[in-house]
Amino acid sequence: MTEQQPWQWDEPTWRGHVERVRAGRPLRPESWPGGAKVAVALSFDSDHETPALRDGEVLPGKLSQGEYGARVGVPRILNLLRRFEAPSTFFMPAVSALLHDGEAKSYVDEGHEVALHGWIHERNTQLPPQAERDLAFRAADTLERLVGTRPVGIRTPSWDLSADSLRIVRELGLTYDSSLMADDDCYEILTDGEPTGIVELPVEWIRDDMPYFMMDRFTSLRPYTPPRGVLSIWRDEFDVAYAENGIFQLTLHPHCIGHRSRITILTELLEHIASHEGVWFATHAQIAEHVLSGKDSSR
């Protein structure tokens, strides 16, 4: 039987795809802790060598780019977060945590959160359901063993949710996800119209360093936006979040943002944020806990 094309789908088919995972009730709270005007959720995806390993790229050159993240980027980031007293969330593939002994634990020791980001930054949408589940549970077990606490949140590798990802997230008993893009502020995830109780802390490519700074010498992929142009975008994103009493969420990668010209703009961004009254720097877990505390309201 020939597979139907999307233009041939009946209404229950296309509506079913859309409703499978959807944004539910808004979770913008009436107030942030301490009367803060904005919540700042900094996050770092400590992928290091895993994207290359996932793709079978095992030659030293590509792997060294990932190693830079652990060797140079992470110490710079931790120093910066220490300066601004900014608890943050590190989403870390389990293989990254195993390759870099003590790194995941150092995050927790400095007051940050470690959350799930796959086993080896796998392309979970291309995996059989059981393989995706097994890798997710193996990653959770590994991070728990390394840092002493079990992760409560996840960012799926490459922000991809398969048809089975949300079921696995629920089976893991996680509090939040940070992979979807249906809002600027937190919301509850629905599946087939039913509330899940899971908080979504939305991401966006606008607020991610990789789209601006990626480089591939064998294709046309180049970092076309200068660092200070990116700073302007992120500063504007924060300013509107502040005006709306919302959340400013940022996704960064140590092997990308850790370079000198880029850590400079992150420093300037944090200086700009810190110059405002009423800023709450918090981990993703802390924000999820707060918006679930019963103080949420519709806009």
pLDDT at residue 294 greater than cutoff 70? no
Burial of 222 (0-12, 13-18, 19+ CB in 10 A): exposed
**Closest among 32, 23, 20 to 200, alpha carbons compared:** 23
Asked whether residue 10 is domain-assigned, the answer is no
Percentage of the chain lying above the pLDDT 70 cut: 98
Asked whether residue 13 is domain-assigned, the answer is no
pLDDT at residue 127 greater than cutoff 80? yes
- Backbone φ and ψ for 290, nearest 5 degrees, come out as -70, -45
Number of compact structural domains in the chain:
1
Give the CATH number, domain containing residue 268: 3.20.20.370
Asked whether residue 14 is domain-assigned, the answer is no
pLDDT at residue 180 greater than cutoff 60? yes
The CA distance from 93 to 44, in Å, is 11
Query: Could you tell me whether strands 247-252 and 21-26 are parallel, antiparallel, or unpaired per DSSP bridges?
Result: unpaired
Asked whether residue 209 is domain-assigned, the answer is yes
pLDDT per position as a tens digit, 239-270: 999 999 999 999 999 999 999 999 999 999 99
Asked whether residue 243 is domain-assigned, the answer is yes
Mean pLDDT, range 99-109, rounded to an integer = 98
Confirm whether pTM is higher than 0.85.
yes
Asked whether residue 87 is domain-assigned, the answer is yes
Q: Which domain holds residue 223?
A: 22-294
Q: What is residue 2's predicted lDDT score, i.e. its pLDDT?
A: 78
Asked whether residue 4 is domain-assigned, the answer is no
pLDDT per position as a tens digit, 34-92: 999 999 999 999 999 999 999 999 999 999 999 999 999 999 999 999 999 999 999 99
Helices (H), 33-184: 50-54, 60-68, 74-84, 94-99, 103-109, 129-147, 165-172
pLDDT at residue 297 greater than cutoff 50? no
Mean pLDDT, range 94-113, rounded to an integer = 98
Distances in whole angstroms, Cα of residue 219 to Cα of each of 56, 66, 216, 222, 272: 18, 19, 6, 8, 36
